[in-house]
Amino acid sequence: MIEEIVSEEDIRAVLQPQRVDPGTFAAGVRERLSAQPEVKIASLSPALQYAAAILPAGIISQKQLAEIAGGAAPAKGSKLLAVLVYPAVCFFLLIGATLVSVFKIRGIQAQNLPDSTDGKQLVVRMKRWQNSQGWKMAALFVITVATMWYGATWLLFLGFIASFSVLIYVLRSLAKAGIGNRLVVGQSCFIGLIPLMSLGQIMAMRSQGIHFVEQSVLAAIVFAGVTILSGLMVGIMPPGHYCRGTNPGRAAFILQVIICVGLSIWSLRPVIWPVTPQQMKDYVESFDHTSRGSVNAEYWEIVAEWTVESGLHPDFAKPEQLLAAEIAKDQPNPILLATGLRLGLLSAAQASTVYNYEGNLRFLRQQVELDRPFHVSLLIFYDWVIRTAVARGDLSGPQLDKLPNVLQRMLETADTAPDATLATVLQATRLLKVVGKPVDPIQYRRQVHDLLRRFHRTGNGGFCYGPRESVGSARPTAYAIELMQIYGVPEGLDLNWVRSFLKPTWTLRPPEKYVLAVTLDRFNKLPGVAPPTWREILYYERTLLAAIVLIGLCIYATLLSPKPRYVE
Amino acid sequence: MELDELINAYRGPLIGLIAAWGAPWHEATEIAQDSFADAWLNRESCRGDWNDPEVFGRWLRGVALNRYRNWSRGRRRWFRLFTFAAEPMDPVDTSTLQEVPEHLAQLREAVDRLPQMQRQVILMHYLEDTSVKEVATLLSVPVKTVEGRLYQARRALHRMITDQTDSKTTETLP
């Protein structure tokens, strides 16, 4: 049986009116051609040609590469430009172009076009490029990670900035000749920036250098940069290139903006929402020491003292209830009792009703009679007993004479005593005031300053609990600043380190972040402490500045590259 | 290869292809001219030997596809801005209008109703009687596939016209 089909003549007749005149059509094409100059890579300088030759596929074509390879013998120094752009090409363009080509292959496979060899050729070229440059590339990555590891992230960024600046010169020269591809350059910068900056941020946080700004800002800068780059690429990405019938670029861009804004806000929390006096007042008023006992009480005392000093007039009803409940216990917490007495929330009469006060008093009398410096633990656990006994007159005259000597001896040996800490020295200073013998700061300045210098850690800029610790903590730093209020700022101590430690960071949680906020306020009010100069800010925040410049260069490189006409 | 040779080889199927994607005929011609110019200007960027007509054909199709997408995107933007206005019709030169036989008018309608793949090959092949090989190159499919689609398209056209005629006859019956 013969199937009935429409005759070819009829179809031709139907389409006849749509035919165009070949001459007119060709003339139209030639008119368009004459409007645009033809690209000639040979017109570029030898140095530029060499630099262009190391650019990966997608930015410069195979034919253009062949043109370069077949050119005249290189002049002396013409390879210098290629050497200079190498780091930026490796880290940004190569990684990016490789990933882009992988996506391209997948796109071609998805479109089921087995005859198309463009994608395969791209990967072959990429592999060839990697094979020829393999060891150099590996060395560059090792240098990159090693430089960051040793805390010279800014130096690395500076190197990349220099290299990228030269690359921009090359790209701009190529762009003038109509060579380049904005999509590939943009995608490459995008893909290269993320690992470099992520690595940079981790290393910057790890580097323990002086920073006045929280280093998570670097993440926010990167997010902003890659979002701008994405925005530039969305405009030139053909819709449905990777997904049929849809525009993945636009959807991905919106998703990326949402994610980046969210992550930026999250990483910039301490900058956007710094600790406020009201928050600290709320914390003081809602004090609950049950979770971390004594430690919580010590943190709380620092903040509570500051709220009183600052005239915030906190309501101590809840802490007073807690103290009343503490007194009624068989074994009350001595730290809490001392805190209550120091802040005036507890009277000596109330403290004397504590179970076994008499027993503690007897022990204190014995220790005072020995007339030698107190053991650290005694000073910490008997602070409340001393205060109560002095206020109530439970110590005899000779004992009251000996007690200041014991405390003063602790200050005299503050720089040499193995068990001396910032907390005990501060406590001894305060107790001397309680017993009516306030310290003469000049008399003990040298010892206290030596102690401060000994307990300062340049690992993170703070002060530590004990001499064996390698990093500083919030509480001893708060004690150190209080000591500086009394004894002055020691010479030779780099205050930028302390300021760096006290800056708000996203890793901190209450009550540490409140303690640091209080300490920073006290630190700023110390006599002789000036805010950092612009020069210091620029110097210590050089990593951030370098990152901003690098991102700016990436955006500029993307913008100056010609828009792709075809992304086949 | 010379530009003229390439234009002669791919002019018809390319205009047909762009028209099949959805561009009006006069726009399809413009896009095809732009595509030829761009493809020729940037032939060095073509991955492969552009002197090979097949390689150039695939390259040309990619260029045309991007050109068409740009045109289509711009058009969508325009319509979004002026959704209150009706789409203007192309002006018709009434002086050149001729009486079209009824069966050809039916065929024209049927061609418009063909499935995308079949309509594509019909427009590409019959617009200027281009060889199946050039059509296959532009579509990046084997020649046999094009032949098969052409046959299926002609059969479908016949079926559609027959169905239409039958229904009209039934309607006119007392």
Average pLDDT estimate for A391-418: 85
More confident residue, B156 or A296: B156
CA-nearest residue of chain B to A118? B47
CB A411 within 8 A of CB A439: yes
Q: Give me the pLDDT at residue A58, please.
A: 56
Determine whether the interchain pair A5/B129 forms a contact, defined as Cβ–Cβ distance below 8 Å: no
Average pLDDT estimate for A388-392: 89
Determine whether the interchain pair B58/A566 forms a contact, defined as Cβ–Cβ distance below 8 Å: no
Q: Look at residue A245 and tell me whether its pLDDT is greater than 60.
A: no
Q: Give me the pLDDT at residue A564, please.
A: 63
pLDDT in tens, B39-68: 888 777 676 777 888 888 888 888 888 888
Q: Give me the pLDDT at residue B171, please.
A: 58
Q: Report DSSP letters for chain B, one per residue.
A: --HHHHHHHHHHHHHHHHHHHT--HHHHHHHHHHHHHHHHHTGGGSSS-TTSHHHHHHHHHHHHHHHHHHHHHHHHHHHHHTTTSPPPPPP--GGG--PPPHHHHHHHHHHHHS-HHHHHHHHHHHTTT--HHHHHHHHTS-HHHHHHHHHHHHHHHHHHHHHHHHHHHHHH--
Q: Give me the pLDDT at residue A115, please.
A: 42
Instruction: Please enumerate in sequence order all residues whose Cβ is within 8 A of that of A304, keeping only pairs 6 or more positions apart, or say none.
Output: A284, A287, A314, A316, A319, A343
Q: How far apart are CA A201 and CA A192, in angstroms?
A: 14
Percent of chain A at pLDDT exceeding 90: 9
Residue A522 confidence class, pLDDT cut points 50, 70, 90 = very high
Determine whether the interchain pair B33/A13 forms a contact, defined as Cβ–Cβ distance below 8 Å: no
CB A277 within 8 A of CB A270: no
Q: Give me the pLDDT at residue A480, please.
A: 93
pLDDT in tens, A327-350: 888 888 888 888 889 888 888 888
Decide: helix, strand or coil at residue A279: helix
- One-letter amino acid at A443 equals Q
- One-letter amino acid at A498 equals V
Average pLDDT estimate for A352-365: 86
Length of chain A: 568
Q: Give me the pLDDT at residue A79, please.
A: 61
Determine whether the interchain pair A25/B32 forms a contact, defined as Cβ–Cβ distance below 8 Å: yes
Residue A205 confidence class, pLDDT cut points 50, 70, 90 = low
Residue A191 confidence class, pLDDT cut points 50, 70, 90 = confident
- Estimate the crossing angle of helix A397-412 against helix A383-392, to 10 degrees: 140
Burial of A353 (0-12, 13-18, 19+ CB in 10 A): exposed
Instruction: Please enumerate in sequence order all residues whose Cβ is within 8 A of that of A35, keeping only pairs 6 or more positions apart, or say none.
Output: none
Tell me, what DSSP letter sits at residue A181? -
Nearest alpha-carbon partner for A170 in A93, A99, A234: A93
Q: Look at residue A479 and tell me whether its pLDDT is greater than 90.
A: yes
Q: How far apart are CA A8 and CA B122, in angstroms?
A: 10
Phi-psi label, residue A355: left if phi above 0, alpha if psi -120 to 50, beta otherwise: beta
Residue B108 confidence class, pLDDT cut points 50, 70, 90 = confident
Q: Look at residue A51 and tell me whether its pLDDT is greater than 80.
A: no
* Distance of residue B101 Cα from the nearest chain A Cα, in angstroms: 10
Tell me, what DSSP letter sits at residue A539? H
Q: Look at residue A446 and tell me whether its pLDDT is greater than 50.
A: yes
* Distance of residue A78 Cα from the nearest chain B Cα, in angstroms: 24
Identify all chain A residues contacting B107, using CB atoms and an 8 Å cutoff. 6, 10-11, 14
CB B164 within 8 A of CB B170: no
Lowest mean pLDDT among A242-246, A502-506, A507-511: A242-246
Q: Report DSSP letters for A304-323, one per residue.
A: HHHHHHTT-----HHHHHHH
Alpha-carbon A296 to chain mean position: 28
> ipTM, 2 decimals?
0.84
Q: Give me the pLDDT at residue A353, please.
A: 86
Identify all chain B residues contacting A246, using CB atoms and an 8 Å cutoff. none
Q: Give me the pLDDT at residue B93, please.
A: 47
Q: Give me the pLDDT at residue A10, please.
A: 86
Q: Look at residue A492 and tell me whether its pLDDT is greater than 80.
A: yes
Per-window interface: A 39-98 vs B, CB < 8 A = 39, 41, 61-64, 67
CB A175 within 8 A of CB A562: yes
Q: Look at residue A108 and tell me whether its pLDDT is greater than 50.
A: no
Residue A504 confidence class, pLDDT cut points 50, 70, 90 = confident
Instruction: Please enumerate in sequence order all residues whose Cβ is within 8 A of that of A117, keeping only pairs 6 or more positions apart, or say none.
Output: B47, B48
What is the average pLDDT score of chain A?
A: 77
* Distance of residue B161 Cα from the nearest chain A Cα, in angstroms: 9
Instruction: Please enumerate in sequence order all residues whose Cβ is within 8 A of that of A250, keeping only pairs 6 or more positions apart, or say none.
Output: A234, A239
pLDDT in tens, A120-134: 555 565 566 666 666
Nearest by CB to B127, which of A15, A39, A238? A15
Domains, chain B, with CATH or none:
1-84 (1.10.1740.10), 100-174 (1.10.10.10)
Average pLDDT estimate for A138-153: 71
Identify all chain A residues contacting B62, using CB atoms and an 8 Å cutoff. 566-568
Length of chain B: 174
Q: How far apart are CA A280 and CA A300, in angstroms?
A: 10
* Distance of residue A2 Cα from the nearest chain B Cα, in angstroms: 11
More confident residue, B131 or A547: B131
Nearest alpha-carbon partner for A86 in A58, A49, A54, A131: A54
CB A484 within 8 A of CB A491: no
Q: Give me the pLDDT at residue A477, please.
A: 93
Q: Give me the pLDDT at residue A487, please.
A: 92
Q: How far apart are CA B58 and CA B65, in angstroms?
A: 11
Which of A201-205, A505-509, B32-36 is the most confident on average? B32-36
Q: Look at residue A423 and tell me whether its pLDDT is greater than 80.
A: yes
Identify all chain A residues contacting B32, using CB atoms and an 8 Å cutoff. 25
Q: How far apart are CA A305 and CA A321, in angstroms?
A: 18
More confident residue, A55 or A30: A30
Decide: helix, strand or coil at residue A492: coil
Q: Look at residue A116 and tell me whether its pLDDT is greater than 50.
A: no
Q: Give me the pLDDT at residue A366, please.
A: 85
Decide: helix, strand or coil at residue A329: coil
Q: Look at residue A257 and tell me whether its pLDDT is greater than 70.
A: yes
Residue B84 confidence class, pLDDT cut points 50, 70, 90 = very low
pLDDT in tens, A523-563: 998 888 888 889 888 888 887 888 888 888 888 888 887 77
Q: Look at residue A424 and tell me whether its pLDDT is greater than 70.
A: yes
CB A524 within 8 A of CB A212: no
Which of A96-105, A282-291, A414-423, B30-39 is the most confident on average? B30-39
Lowest mean pLDDT among A193-197, A383-387, A405-409: A193-197
What number of other Cβ atoms are within 10 A of residue A551's Cβ? Answer: 20
Q: Give me the pLDDT at residue A236, please.
A: 66
Q: Look at residue A73 and tell me whether its pLDDT is greater than 70.
A: no
Q: Give me the pLDDT at residue A60, please.
A: 60
CB A305 within 8 A of CB A258: no
Q: How far apart are CA B43 and CA B56, in angstroms?
A: 8
